[in-house]
Structure 1
Amino acid sequence: MNISRFLWDAAANSQRGLPVLSFPAAQKLGVDIEQLVKTAGLQARAMEVIARETDILAAVSLMDLSVEAEAFGAKVNFSKNEIPAIVGQLVSYEEEARALQIPSLDAGRARVCVEGVRQAKGLIDKKPLLAGIIGPFSLAGRLMDVTESMYICYDEPDTVHIVLEKATEYLIQYGTAMKEAGADGILMAEPLTGILNPEMAAEFSVPYVKRIIDALQDREFGIVYHNCGGSVPRMLDEIFSQNAVAYHFGNAVRMEEILAAAPADVLCMGNVDPASQFAQGTPESVYAATRELIEKCGKYRNFIPSSGCDIPAHSKWENIEAFFKALKD
């Protein structure tokens, strides 16, 4: 499938949306989050149930941003009710960065996620499937500790680049496996870049993201880039230079301002608040927020309505249904 053409055709119809919707499927399946992230068959069923029971444009695999860091050896904290989280610091100085080994796809749960995508493609025949992976700087930040990574960028930039080189090589391998498993594209989450300034983003994220896109993207397979940081409006030129098929933005920015600044041939998605609306809101408030988003952004032909980020696992299904009802109405 030509995912770029598919998404542009969808953008012409504001009744269709592509929220980042995966973990709430656990409610439908009657399983906990730890079971879901560790079992390929459950992940496949999660994608299928969302594709079947909602009007989502494409199925999206789990946005579990611990998978890649775990493969490198980072410690993961699993929970029955929350998505996995990386704890501790694997790399803190240059010698540790140089010693860091690029893992095989057999390390950690990468093969589980790839197999989940493979099985899901056998269950979903009417919608494309986007495989979720982390972005290179966000992966490096989890290996170096998110807070400490900012200091390392200033004090030891060479260390950061060493980690980024290895993260990028691994992500190309992982993305290739997703592609071979049948995914139609990738949703790459690079949220940590959103706290950088444009100069730092141009050094520590953009060239590595672009290398991954250049390695994986072709006529039939595309990368959707996600960045939910508040500094995004100041780095749009850098972001759009990456040549992704589409760009997904969080609710920390005004979507109408992003669209006003974006070239007409750049496809943008966003950005109903996943926390205050999908997780904590009511069907009425989600409906109103979605309608407001469409009223402000629906005039742009390069816009697809979405959530601002990954929808939390405990979000009420009535709220999710209200999002799609607002689009339909």
Structure 2
Amino acid sequence: MKRNMKQWAYDYIHAPEKKAMPILSFPGVQIIGHTVDQLVRSGELQAQCMQAVSERFDTGAAFSLMDLSVEAEAFGAPVCYSEDDVPTVHGILIHDEEEAEALKIPEVGAGRTGECVEGIRKACERIRNKPVLAGIIGPYSLAGRLLDMSEIMLLCFDEPEMVEMILEKATAFLIQYAKAFKEAGANGICMAEPAAGLLSPALMDEFSTPYVQKVREAVEDENFIFMYHNCGNISPLLDRIRALDMQAYSIGNAVDVEKVLKVIPEDRIVIGNIDPAGTIRSGTPEKIRKETLELLNRCGKYPNFVISSGCDIPPAAPLENIQAFFDAVKEYYTR
């Protein structure tokens, strides 16, 4: 459903009661009765999963899967699958400059990208009462999965031209992928660029920000929001994060989200940052209630703060734990 996302963001910031906006998709397999392996390969199941989560929990937005192996696999990277866990890139695709030069930019539809786009198309047909946000990896994080995350850090110093060559190709693909999500009906994308959290401010300026902005400029408009997600330790990068000038930010639990709120302007949404694994996946309902209320009591005074998970909630997170999170949010706002 098409909607003015600038107005949606404005209304959300100014609403006295804000619905939680966790990055919640994979646990929906427990509701629809399928494995993660089946889910990540089927657009129909992804739409069913998003719809089931949207109907079960009172979320402010419907997020698609945060599967950071999809785009790398489309380029040819080997991926390891599991019945009950999120796929991961396994092995290095590009070993040298010759392979970097030979790297072909895939078409949207390669690997599982076509299923992901179809999943968004079907989800948008079924979820009409809230924005639907498609998940996409960031350029530097994608390049790191093609080169190896440790290797790319060294190459930024030793062979920056090679890194930039791969970033250009990654960005060209991500622009087309983001456009496909937009054409499928998504109200925006949530770009996960966690690897940029490992960079110095200067390296972020060189190897992440310009490429992120190219994708953003290609798709963002009043009907399509661009949310920037970084679950790394961005404390040394807060000035750079602010300079991105995004309409919405998703902040991981590696940092104190209040420090981010003190830097980001009040007219930009900041969502975060209950630990998705340590608390929501592995904690008790009592622990979840305590931490959620503590974070809301501390950060609810910021009008642009929206309670969320710090990253994608794992598939095996107990549904009663997820419900405890939403119950705590309701408790806070009904006081």
TM-score by length of 1: 0.97
Letter in 2 for 1:147: S
Match of 1:183 in 2: 186
Match of 1:142 in 2: 145
Deviation at 1:14, TM superposition (A): 4.1
1:5-20 alignment runs, 5 A limit: 5-11=7-13, 12-20=15-23
Match of 1:250 in 2: 252
Contact kept in structure 2, 1:14 and 1:305, CA below 8 Å: no
In the aligned structure 1, how far is the partner of 2:28 from the partner of 2:213? 32
Match of 1:312 in 2: 314
Match of 1:156 in 2: 159
Letter in 2 for 1:66: S
Deviation at 1:237, TM superposition (A): 2.2
Contact kept in structure 1, 2:178 and 2:189, CA below 8 Å: yes
Give me the CA root mean square deviation.
1.1
Letter in 2 for 1:48: Q
Match of 1:76 in 2: 79
SS of structure 2 residue aligned to 1:8:
helix
SS of structure 2 residue aligned to 1:127:
coil
In the aligned structure 1, how far is the partner of 2:130 from the partner of 2:263? 30
1:15-26 alignment runs, 5 A limit: 15-26=18-29
Gaps of at least 5 residues in structure 2 are none
SS of structure 2 residue aligned to 1:243:
coil
Letter in 1 for 2:300: G
- 2:240 paired with 1:271: no
- 2:209 paired with 1:206: yes
Match of 1:167 in 2: 170
Match of 1:64 in 2: 67
Match of 2:241 in 1: 239
The structure 2 residue matched to 1:113, chosen from 116, 130, 144, is 116
Moved more, 33-42 or 145-154: 145-154
- 2:256 paired with 1:288: no
SS of structure 2 residue aligned to 1:261:
coil
SS of structure 2 residue aligned to 1:79:
coil
SS of structure 1 residue aligned to 2:92:
coil
Deviation at 1:9, TM superposition (A): 1.9
Contact kept in structure 2, 1:287 and 1:326, CA below 8 Å: yes
- 2:196 paired with 1:196: no
The structure 1 residue matched to 2:42, chosen from 35, 39, 61, is 39
Moved more, 89-98 or 4-13: 4-13
